[in-house]
Amino acid sequence: MNLNWTVGFEIELLAPRTRSRRDLAERIAYLRGGTVRRFFHPQEEPSEVEGKPSFHNLTPGFEALDGAGRPIARFVDDMTLQADLDANAGPLPGWYRIVTDDRRLLRLIMRQCDADAPIDRVLVPVAGLFGTAPDVHRSGMVKVTDDRGASVAIAAPLPGERERTCEIVTPPLADDQEAALEFLLGEARAAGFTLPREGATHIHFDAAPLTSARAVVNLVNALGRHGEALKRLVGTNPHCIRLGPWPDRLLALVASPGFATLDWPAARKALGDVGLTKYCDFNLLNLANADRAKHTFEVRVLPASLDARPIIAAASLFAALLQWCAEPAAGTRRIPDDPHALIAALPLPPEARAIWGG
């Protein structure tokens, strides 16, 4: 089944013990005659330190490139995956994370430091920017402060089997999505990868067709009314975290008189003022921010899978919904009261309709 939409996939898996996400990246690259590039993968996690609501960290990510240097997929950590790991396991040699309490410093570190550098040397370039040198502790932890002693960043060995967490992140795929996904998941199955307890699949849909106030009204109204029914239909993992509803201010905005007739710059600005977050069922943040690196609408409610077919089937359902919402001639849609009636109205291809009904 091919999707009539450009999409990127993020599938959360777990490597077997004694294996890592790097092993899978190397296998994929080898099969395509390519190489693996290690890079810093940014994440955010809650903090228990008073006055600092979150810490920003970098963990090892691995990008598989084909023989022509084109990206096949990235293999990264995901901090939401915890239940299946041995928290007391020691770190592997060369596996570390870098922590800071300021995302601006995180971006600076990503630009200045070499992800292939050993832990005792990795922060040397950023320390030099502050006129200091890293302080290497006998525990293996490395700390950088500025010239007045204020903390800049800490690098520390990465314990707790964090090398086993593996989110496969594909580049945007315009065609043959199922074949591309099945190649990656087939190798993961062969290597003994499994589904994490909290595992999810996220799909990023190219947001270009959605850049109108009218399309956003249709999308928010459809998912606001039938999002829970669609979650039950696709089998959202009840153990998945970082899901939830949109802010009430978004629902009020799309219902407000005149929003649907705004031009896109004005509508986008209004969307940016309602408190959107990526940690919800359906992520509009990248659309509202006009994120150049990831200008997408993200569906976050799908379960993890080691089989491409159910992922593509779910993607076809949401692609049809987006098409229905964005169709220029349709205007502002009347949302059916029944979710089955909504599905019946969608332009689903026959193969997808046989799965989802309607």
Q: What is the pLDDT along the chain (358 residues), one digit of tens a residue?
A: 778 899 999 999 999 999 999 999 999 999 999 999 999 999 987 655 555 556 799 999 999 999 999 999 999 999 999 999 999 999 999 999 999 988 899 999 999 999 999 999 999 999 999 999 999 999 999 999 999 999 999 999 999 999 999 999 999 999 999 999 999 999 999 999 999 999 999 999 999 999 999 999 999 999 999 999 999 999 999 999 899 999 999 999 999 999 999 999 999 999 999 999 999 999 999 999 988 889 999 999 999 999 999 999 999 999 999 999 999 887 899 999 999 999 999 999 999 999 998 6
Question: Which DSSP string corresponds to 113-124?
Answer: S-TTS-TTTTTH
Q: What does the alpha-carbon distance between residue 163 and residue 131 come to, in Å, rounded to a whole number?
A: 33
| 150 in the same domain as 188 | no
Residues 204 and 343 in one domain: yes
Residues 121 and 197 in one domain: no
CA distance 70 to 65: 5
Q: Look at residue 1 and tell me if it is in a domain.
A: no
Domain assignment present for residue 9? The answer is no
Domain count, the chain: 2
Structural domain includes residue 8: no
pLDDT of residue 49: 55
Closest CA to 133 of 146, 148, 115: 146
Give a yes or no: residue 11 inside a domain.
no
In a domain, 108, yes or no: yes
Q: Tell which of 124, 157, 190 closes a domain.
A: 157
113 and 208 part of one domain: no
Q: What kind and span of H or E run contains 55?
A: strand 54-65
Pick the last residue of a domain from 157, 185, 202: 157
233, 121: one domain: no
Does residue 6 lie in a domain region?
no
DSSP-derived letter for residue 93 is T
Question: So what's the pLDDT on residue 64?
Answer: 98
Instruction: Say yes or no: 169 and 135 in one domain.
Output: no
**What is the reported pLDDT for 43?**
92
Residue 145 lies in a domain: yes
> 252 and 105, same structural domain?
no
In a domain, 10, yes or no: no
Q: In what helix (H) or strand (E) does residue 336 lie, and over which residues does it extend?
A: none
- Separation of alpha carbons 297 and 264, rounded Å: 16
Say if residues 94 and 156 touch (Cβ distance below 8 Å): no
Say whether both 243 and 316 belong to one domain.
yes
Q: So what's the pLDDT on residue 48?
A: 57
Does 255 share its domain with 324? yes
Examine the fold and report which residue of 129, 157, 185 is the final residue of a domain before the chain moves on. 157
Identify the three-state secondary structure at position 42.
Answer: strand
One domain for residues 297 and 175? yes
Indicate if 180 and 144 belong to the same structural domain: no
249-252: Cβ within 8 A, 24+ apart: 249/274, 249/275, 250/220, 250/274, 250/275, 250/276, 250/284, 251/220, 251/224
Question: 349 with 214, same domain?
Answer: yes
pLDDT for res 74:
98
Name the residue range of residue 75's domain. 19-157
